[in-house]
Amino acid sequence: MTKTLKTSRRPSSLRRILPPAVTFIAMLSGTAAYALDTGDAPTRLQRDADALRETGASGVLAEARTPGGRAVARSGVADLATRAPVRPDSYHRIGSTTKTFVATVVLQLAGEGKVGLDDTVDRWLPGVVRGNGNDGTKITVRQLLGHTSGVPEYADDVPMEQARTPEAFRRERFRTYSPEQLVAMAMRHRPTFEPGAGWAYSSTNYVLAGMIIEKATGRPWQQEVHERIIETLGLRHTLIPGTSASLPQPHMTVYKRFVPGGPETDVSTFAAGHPDGSLISTTSDVNRFLQALVSGRLLRPAQLAEMQHTTPAKPFQEIWRDAGYGLGLMKRRLSCGGWVWFHGGGGWNSITDNAVTPDGRRAATVFYATRLQPDQSPIQQYKASADLIDNALCTS
């Protein structure tokens, strides 16, 4: 079911799920493709991985899982200096795909009667959402998970997010903040709209959701995600880094130009420990998680239905056909017809895209390290990634 609400046009909406606009630069050569369980990787998957690399990425890793097995395609290199190939077991920051893990835990707690989706934020976090017109007594847990709360974005006030030079990035990259500090940053701003009156993507919603998990269970959100999802599904390559800034090996080195034509800076290492976007995983683990989720292995039917009740996400519809946002899970229409469920993510030029068919039988995930510069829109690159997913799931 789709609910229609007024949609905010805030420029930060697209930026929070995927990185800011950046520019095309010269491409890398070098591709590799292979498959596990199914022989050679399908030619279309490899062509699409190459096409994505050619939009301005140093490395691309794509995996499709079907009833027939698992296929993997790689393109580009894992590191510009060593020219090492992209590994099929590469770790990657999955950004806002983390939100789906966190929403799943909140919905599990709802199914257990420990949290009500219509509970107010103030019921769990009294006085935390307050000031400049923000009012936690009027915002519900459901609205947090669905980005219909109107709570403003905290990330616009984080110094590292505003870094415009390599020196500023290096100075800020190990700095950590408590959830309370992040929410306080958001409270400097007025609400985007009255609770329930619109839709706007705000990572502050999921910082608050993580705080509510801790209040409801007496344990950190990280522990609940680990025990309820990662351990339950045997996702042995999905990690919650906490305050650790490093990526495990193997991984793609990620680069960023802070000014057009400037030098490329390695931005792979930074602290990111919050429930809005901190998980590290692999293509295989992300696919398995999404397949388990939509197949009902993690949520009861009533809670899965709540998760899949969507609002049009108009800022994302330029990339994904008829995109809608549920409770920590998005949907989009395939070119061959029908819907798929997904939640992409990105930050500091590490991009994740993914999708799973409603029956859970087919899933695809792509990781890539963009090399686009700061003065060109990334829309065509996002569309190339979406096309890769679309083709992988439309193939019979």
Q: What structural domains and CATH numbers belong to the chain?
A: 12-394 (3.40.710.10)
Q: Which DSSP symbol is given to 77?
A: B
Give the tokens for residue 332: 């989009």
Give the Cβ contact number of residue 359 at 10 Å. Answer: 9
The chain-wide mean pLDDT, for the chain, equals 90
| Cα–Cα distances in angstroms (integers) from residue 177 to residues 37, 134, 183, in the given order | 44, 21, 10
So what's the pLDDT on residue 23? 22
pTM of the model: 0.90
Whether the CB-CB separation of 144 and 151 falls below 8 Å is answered with: yes
Q: Residue 41 pLDDT more than 90? A: no
Length reported for the chain: 396
How far apart are alpha carbons 355 and 74 in whole angstroms?
18
Pairing of strands 363-370, 57-66: antiparallel
The pLDDT confidence band at residue 396, using thresholds 50, 70 and 90, is low
What confidence tens digit (pLDDT) does each residue in 363-386 have?
999 999 999 999 989 999 999 999
| Cα–Cα distances in angstroms (integers) from residue 104 to residues 140, 289, 395, in the given order | 16, 11, 29
The better pLDDT of the pair 50, 40 is held by 50
So what's the pLDDT on residue 330? 98
Instruction: Let me know the angle formed at the C-alpha of 303 by 299 and 304, rounded to the nearest 5 degrees.
Output: 65
Alpha helices in 112-203 (DSSP H): 121-124, 141-146, 166-172, 179-186
The HSE-up count of residue 266 (CA atoms within 13 Å, CB side) is: 11
Instruction: Let me know the angle formed at the C-alpha of 321 by 151 and 276, rounded to the nearest 5 degrees.
Output: 30
Q: Name the phi and psi angles at 372, rounded to 5.
A: -65, 150
What confidence tens digit (pLDDT) does each residue in 43-52 have?
899 999 999 9
Alpha helices in the chain (DSSP H): 12-17, 43-53, 98-111, 121-124, 141-146, 166-172, 179-186, 204-217, 221-225, 231-233, 283-294, 301-307, 379-394
Of the candidates 10, 340, 19, 329, the residue with the CA atom closest to the CA atom of residue 201? 10
Structure-token match 């899982």, residue found: 65
Rounded to 10 deg, the angle between the 43-53 and 379-394 helix axes is 170
Identity at 172, one-letter amino acid code = E
Compute the average pLDDT of residues 97-119.
Answer: 98
What is the C-alpha end-to-end distance of the chain, expressed in Å? 27
Whether the CB-CB separation of 29 and 80 falls below 8 Å is answered with: no
Identity at 84, one-letter amino acid code = A
Give the tokens for residue 302: 């009533």
Q: Residue 334 pLDDT more than 70? A: yes
So what's the pLDDT on residue 370? 97
Compute the average pLDDT of residues 71-92.
Answer: 97
Whether the CB-CB separation of 225 and 105 falls below 8 Å is answered with: yes
Whether the CB-CB separation of 321 and 390 falls below 8 Å is answered with: no
Give the Cβ contact number of residue 24 at 10 Å. Answer: 17
Whether the CB-CB separation of 114 and 217 falls below 8 Å is answered with: yes
The pLDDT confidence band at residue 10, using thresholds 50, 70 and 90, is very low
- DSSP, collapsed to helix, strand or coil, labels residue 289 as helix
What confidence tens digit (pLDDT) does each residue in 207-241 have?
999 999 999 999 999 999 999 999 999 999 999 99
Q: Residue 70 pLDDT more than 80? A: yes
